[in-house]
Amino acid sequence: MPEGTYYFPEGFLWGTATAAHQVEGRNPNNTWTAWEQEEGRIINGQTSGLACDWWGGRWREDFDRAQATFQNAHRLSIAWSRIQPTPDRWEETALDYYREMLIGLHSRNIVPMVTLHHFSEPLWVAELGGWENPDIIDLFAAFVEKAVEALSPYCKLWVTINEPDVFALSAYVEGLFPPGKKDLKAAYQVMNHMVRAHAKAYAVIHEIQPEAQVGLAYHYRHFRPAGWLPMDRWMAGLFHTIFNNLFPRTLKDGVFNAVVKKDRIPEAIGTQDFIGLNYYSSDLIRFNLLAKSRMFTTMSFPKDALLSENGFIASQPAGMEACVRWGRQFGKPIYITENGVEDSTDEMRPRYILEHLQALWRAINDNAPVLGYFHWSLVDNFEWERGWTQRFGLWGLDLETQKRIRRPSVDLYAEICRLNGISSEMVERYAPAALPELFPPA
Ligand code: GAL
């Protein structure tokens, strides 16, 4: 079997990603906390509760873990609902707390990337109509101004909004996230307001911190037609246009083109310094006349793909390469801001990590300007409407005791971060089944 190493570029960022509501715990004025109290919203009636208890200080031990395992970057988010719990109140102690966390990262030689909106808002914002109300553009900008004023000495990499595509779909089409709507018109408005809010936030951040690097984290899905029927191909193209292209294309040419409706948002042109890409899996698309509520579509995974524990993710590393190739069209540096798999037993994760990183390496070797990779996630955390049934952490979490469980992937990822690459020897030890594919015999 050939031996070798796929090295990544010098100075590559290797980290993990988390989000405030998923790890902090006890977040009283937040839309998700309220949502969790409603019957039937979260699987098995689970709640985020203490989560990973970062608000109780356990971020320190988790950052220690990241440092001890050679991670040099971490993507986290801050909660708007903690910083502005009511319209007329700025909570300085919350900003102090986040400041301490960012200093905590620096002191461990970990570069922070901060997300300003990751799926949740203060309750008062939701009461005003949330992202359906155009007022949110100014409200979000005011929050961003306050947060960036306070935290810019400790952070240069900002993600304004996490996955606007998933947010609009889950909260306004599928009804799985608050406010639980199934209303395409509302989804259109929400996306449109998110583009405008992002553009304004971009300007606000650069005004405060000219050297800031500002982007979004897009969830990229590689959609392929399930069969040979032209309608399957057409549908796959439509999903790509709306889910993947709508937002970033508007930032390129100012045309918000939602196929059935168009708008011009010229102020959005040129408002991203990097492209954040969250890649997990790819879908086969089949046109289905009977599936009216699912936009006449049936989605599936290829029959031979390796499936995650709950069938939520099919391992399709080729999609990682496609994702980066797609991201290149915007002419900006790229960060993989999320990638990972739900797997409580760690049976699949080592192989998933190695195969996806090799696919990423292929794209980089083809000159894609990728600057870093953030694995989702550092430690198991609250997975939205799926509660605690999905475990994405390198470290597991025992919810009862708050104990962290060291999965083999911790050591694999530590070796990758330390070597700045993946070696045949690593593959042999952690995922031998992937060896022929990753290091094929000559
Ligand atoms: C992403 C999301 C993360 C995390 C991950 C795994 O869509 O940004 O917050 O939940 O999926 O499910």
Residue 121's closest CA among 185, 173, 78? 78
Helix (H, G, I), strand (E, B) or coil at 357: helix
Residue 235: per-residue pLDDT: 96
**What stretch of H or E contains 68?**
helix 59-68
Q: pLDDT per residue over 62-95, tens digit each?
A: 999 999 999 999 999 999 999 999 999 999 999 9
Q: How far is the CA of 442 from the centre of ligand 1 (A)?
A: 38
Q: Which superfamily does 5-438 belong to?
A: Glycosidases (3.20.20.80)
* Mean pLDDT score, 34-58: 98
CA distance 294 to 299: 9
Q: pLDDT per residue over 240-276, tens digit each?
A: 999 999 999 999 999 999 999 999 999 999 999 999 9
- Tell me, using a 6 A CB cutoff, whether residue 376 lines ligand 1: yes
User: Which residue among 115, 384, 385, 390 is best mutated to probe the pocket of ligand 1, counting the most ligand atoms within 8 A of its Cβ?
Assistant: 384
- Tell me, using a 6 A CB cutoff, whether residue 283 lines ligand 1: no
Helix axes 349-365, 408-419, angle to 10 degrees: 20
**Ligand 1, atom 12: closest residue by C-alpha:** 383
Atom of ligand 1 nearest to the CA of 166: 7
* Mean pLDDT score, 150-160: 98
Q: Where are the beta strands (DSSP E) in 137-273?
A: 157-162, 213-225, 255-257, 262-264
Q: How far is the CA of 436 from the centre of ligand 1 (A)?
A: 31
First to last CA, the chain: 8
Residue 295: per-residue pLDDT: 83
Residue 15: per-residue pLDDT: 99
Residue 1: per-residue pLDDT: 73
CA distance 352 to 92: 41
- Tell me, using a 6 A CB cutoff, whether residue 8 lines ligand 1: no
Q: pLDDT per residue over 88-114, tens digit each?
A: 999 999 999 999 999 999 999 999 999
**Ligand 1, atom 10: closest residue by C-alpha:** 383
Atom of ligand 1 nearest to the CA of 19: 9
Q: pLDDT per residue over 206-233, tens digit each?
A: 999 999 999 999 999 999 999 999 999 9
Q: How far is the CA of 183 from the centre of ligand 1 (A)?
A: 22
User: Which residue among 280, 338, 392 is best mutated to probe the pocket of ligand 1, counting the most ligand atoms within 8 A of its Cβ?
Assistant: 338
Q: How far is the CA of 76 from the centre of ligand 1 (A)?
A: 12
Tokens of 197: 């809010």
Residue 161's closest CA among 206, 114, 93? 114
Q: How far is the CA of 170 from the centre of ligand 1 (A)?
A: 12
Residue 209: per-residue pLDDT: 99
Is 90 exceeded by the pLDDT of residue 292?
Answer: no
Is 90 exceeded by the pLDDT of residue 239?
Answer: yes
Q: How far is the CA of 174 from the centre of ligand 1 (A)?
A: 16
Residue 121: per-residue pLDDT: 98
CA distance 10 to 19: 27
Question: At a CB cut-off of 8 Å and minimum separation 6, what does 61 contact?
Answer: 404
Q: What angle do CA 274, 275, 276 make, to 5 degrees?
A: 115
Q: C-alpha distances in angstroms, 146 versus 19, 94, 131, 373?
A: 19, 12, 20, 28
CA distance 304 to 284: 13
Q: How far is the CA of 80 from the centre of ligand 1 (A)?
A: 18
- Tell me, using a 6 A CB cutoff, whether residue 162 lines ligand 1: yes
- Tell me, using a 6 A CB cutoff, whether residue 137 lines ligand 1: no
Atom of ligand 1 nearest to the CA of 384: 10
Q: How far is the CA of 61 from the centre of ligand 1 (A)?
A: 22
CA 135 to mean position of chain CA atoms: 25
Q: pLDDT per residue over 367-426, tens digit each?
A: 999 999 999 999 999 999 999 999 999 999 999 999 999 999 999 999 999 999 999 999
User: Which residue among 42, 308, 310, 376 is best mutated to probe the pocket of ligand 1, counting the most ligand atoms within 8 A of its Cβ?
Assistant: 376
Q: Which residues pair with 297 in a beta bridge?
A: 287
Residue 7: per-residue pLDDT: 98
Q: pLDDT per residue over 11-35, tens digit each?
A: 999 999 999 999 999 999 999 999 9
Residue 204: per-residue pLDDT: 99
Atom of ligand 1 nearest to the CA of 383: 10
Residue 378: per-residue pLDDT: 99
Q: How far is the CA of 346 from the centre of ligand 1 (A)?
A: 18
What are the residue ranges spanned by the domains of the chain? 5-438
Amino acid present at 420: N
Atom of ligand 1 nearest to the CA of 162: 8
- Tell me, using a 6 A CB cutoff, whether residue 177 lines ligand 1: no
Is 90 exceeded by the pLDDT of residue 2?
Answer: no
Q: How far is the CA of 354 from the centre of ligand 1 (A)?
A: 20
Question: What is the rounded average pLDDT for all residues in the chain?
Answer: 97
Residue 63: per-residue pLDDT: 99
DSSP 264-310: E-GGGTT--SEEEEEEEEEEEEEE-TT-GGGTTEEEE--TTSPBPTT
Is 80 exceeded by the pLDDT of residue 293?
Answer: no
CB of 29 closer than 8 Å to CB of 175: no
Q: pLDDT per residue over 323-340, tens digit each?
A: 999 999 999 999 999 999
Q: How many CB atoms lie within 10 A of CB 418?
A: 12
DSSP 206-219: HHH-TT-EEEEEEE
- Tell me, using a 6 A CB cutoff, whether residue 65 lines ligand 1: no
Residue 390: per-residue pLDDT: 98
Cis before 300? omega within 30: no
Tokens of 227: 């069969």
Q: pLDDT per residue over 354-380, tens digit each?
A: 999 999 999 999 999 999 999 999 999
* Mean pLDDT score, 299-319: 97
- Tell me, using a 6 A CB cutoff, whether residue 342 lines ligand 1: no
CA distance 21 to 333: 28
Sign of CA dihedral 101, 161, 132, 182: negative
Q: How far is the CA of 321 from the centre of ligand 1 (A)?
A: 20
* Mean pLDDT score, 309-330: 98
Please tell me what DSSP assigns to residue 254. Answer: S
Residue 220's closest CA among 238, 240, 237, 236? 240
Q: Which residue's entry shows tokens 């330390």?
A: 418
Cis before 440? omega within 30: no
Q: Which residue's entry shows tokens 């996955």?
A: 163
- Tell me, using a 6 A CB cutoff, whether residue 392 lines ligand 1: yes
Residue 294: per-residue pLDDT: 79
Q: What angle do CA 369, 375, 380 make, to 5 degrees?
A: 165
- Tell me, using a 6 A CB cutoff, whether residue 136 lines ligand 1: no
